[in-house]
Structure 1
Amino acid sequence: MGKLSKRAASIIYMKEYESLFSCPLCKEKMHVSEDGQITCGNLHTFNIAKQGYVNFMIKPSNSMYSKSLFESRQEVINSGLYNPLQQKIAKSIGPHVKTVLDTGCGEGSHLERIGNLLEHEVVGVGIDISKEGIQAAAKFYEHKIWCVGDLANSPYQEQSFDCILNILSPANYEEFSRLLKPGGMVIKVVPQSGYLKEIRKQAFANSEKESYRNDGTVNRFKEHFANVKQERITYTVPLNTDLVPKLLEMTPLGWHIEKNVSFSNITIDLDVLIGENTK
């Protein structure tokens, strides 16, 4: 028997974990059929695409991120630039964690690499508003559930996840609390003052944007979650010449400068916030 198609494999995997799904329109439980339809009791239906993902968007999105951007993002992440961050997150995910949701997952490289670092199997689920990002995730990474969706109308049951990842992406803390199991954890990654400072200096020289503070973001996180741990990860590493334009494309900071600049080194400076859901 030949290898299953992406769609067939995804149908089997999503059917196994169909209890995670909730209709983004009416919040009813959903059933995954053998022909790849995900349907609720009110007959709202979403189809698993041939690439192996499902689009749960109920209205058009205005994502400014292109297919090319996600290709660049994947190459940069898979170069190992964020290895220390991924190692820290994997170490923070204890053996009790069985389900992980990556919000704003993009093309899925962080979730894939973090999952590969764990010593136990988890159900990895990624959601992003960008169809291009999720298509790329489904293309390259198997044995995950990839969803195009909006956290304002998320397609998941309440109390479904042990851990939520939110890596350099906007957050929806009310939805995080709804989706997390009691005592579940949120791991949020936010820039610190030196993050990509080589690009920031080029983009915003002599302006107030040249410096950056994350105090407001950190304080809001602490208002929503308990027992918050905050750890800073900072390092400067050489950057291969061919990765410079790709890094400039993947980060909004890079959209403000000429593409022909070069950097011999790049600084990663991030805060990892880990909080507990008490609701």
Structure 2
Amino acid sequence: MGKVSKRVASILHMKEHETLFSCPLCKESMHVTDDGHVICGNHHSFDIAKQGYVNFMIKPAASMYSKSLFESRQEVISSGLYNQLQQTIAKNIGDEAQVILDTGCGEGSHLERICDLLTQDVVAIGIDISKEGIQAAAKFYEQKIWCVGDLANNPYKKQSIDCILNILSPANYDEFSRLLKPNGKVIKVVPQSGYLKEIRKQAFANSEKESYSNNQTVERFKEHFTNVWQERITYTVPLSAQLVPKLLEMTPLGWHLQEGISLTEITIDLDVLVGEHD
């Protein structure tokens, strides 16, 4: 028997874990049919696409991110630029988490590389409002559940997730609390003052945006979760010429720059926030 298609592989994988799903329209449990429909008891149905993902959006949403941007992001992340971050996240996930949800996963590269660092097998789920991002995730990475969906209305059951990842992405703490199992974790990554400072300096020279503070974001996180732990990751690495346009395309900071920008190194400066849900 030859290799099955992406769609068939995704149907089989989602059927195996169908108890995780909750209808985004009515919150009923869902069933994955043999022919690739994710359907609830009230007959709300969502199709598994040929690329191997499900679109759970119940109303259209515009995204400013293009297919090209996500391909650039995949190349930059796969280069190893964020290795230290991914290692720190994997360490904080630990060896007991079984179901991991990456909210705002984009094209899925962080989730893929983090799962590769774990010692246990996990059910890995990625959700993003951008259809282009999820299509890229399904193209690049198999044996994960990829969904287009609204962060405020996740298609997953209450208390179904062990660990939520929220990497340089907006958060919805009420929804995170609904999804997490008792004592589940949220791992949120936010920029620190020196993040991509070489780009920031050229894009926003002599303006308020040249500097950045994450204090409000950190304080809000601490208000919602217990046993909060915070670690700063900062390093500067050489940047190859071929990655420069890719990095500029993947970050909104780079959209403000004109052609001909020269970057020979880049600074990664991030806070990793880890909190528990009671």
Taking structure 2 as the reference length, the TM-score comes to 0.99
CA–CA distance in structure 1, aligned partners of residues 61 and 240 of structure 2? 34
Q: CA deviation at 1:15?
A: 0.4
**CA deviation vs aligned residue, 1:181-208 (integer Å, no higher than 9, x gap):** 0000000000000000000000110011
In structure 2, what is the Cα distance between the partners aligned to 1:122 and 1:231? Answer: 24
CA contact under 8 A between 2:163 and 2:185: conserved in structure 1? yes
Q: Partners in 2 of 1:259 and 1:153 — Cα distance?
A: 39
Task: Report how many residues are paired.
Answer: 278
Partner-residue secondary structure (3-state), 2:229: strand
Residues 107-156 of structure 1: CA distance to partner in whole angstroms, max 9, x if unpaired? Answer: 00000000001111110000000000000000110010000000122111
- C-alpha offsets along residues 94-115 of structure 1, whole Å, 9 cap, x if unaligned? 1110000000000000000000
What's the counterpart of residue 36 of structure 1? 36
Shift of 1:258: 1.0
How do 1:92-103 and structure 2 match up within 5 A?
92-103=92-103
Code of the aligned partner of 1:158: K
Identity value in percent = 78
Return the letter of the residue paired with 1:84: Q
Write the distance in 2 (CA, Å) between the matches of 1:46 and 1:266: 42
Residue aligned with 1:227, SS: strand
Task: Give the whole-Å Cα distance in 2 for the aligned partners of 1:262 and 1:158.
Answer: 48
Aligned partner of residue 152 in structure 2, secondary structure:
helix
Alpha-carbon shift at residue 32 of structure 1 (Å): 0.4
Q: Secondary structure at the match of 2:233?
A: strand
Cα distance between partner residues in 2 of 1:122 and 1:136: 21
**Quick check: 1:245–1:259 contact (8 Å CA) kept in 2?**
no
- Equivalent residue, structure 1, for 2:13: 13
Q: Which runs of 5+ in 2 are unaligned?
A: none
Letter in 2 for 1:263: L
For 2:261 and 2:275, locate their aligned partners in 1 and report how far apart those are by CA, in whole Å.
39
Q: Secondary structure at the match of 2:253?
A: helix
Contact 2:153/2:175, CA 8 A, preserved across alignment: no
- The CA distance in 1 between the partners of 2:72 and 2:110, in whole Å, is 14
Q: Name the structure 2 match of 1:104.
A: 104
Tell me what 1:113 maps to: 113
Tell me the TM-score normalised to structure 1 length.
0.99
Q: CA deviation at 1:259?
A: 3.2
8 Å contact kept, 2:236–2:267: yes
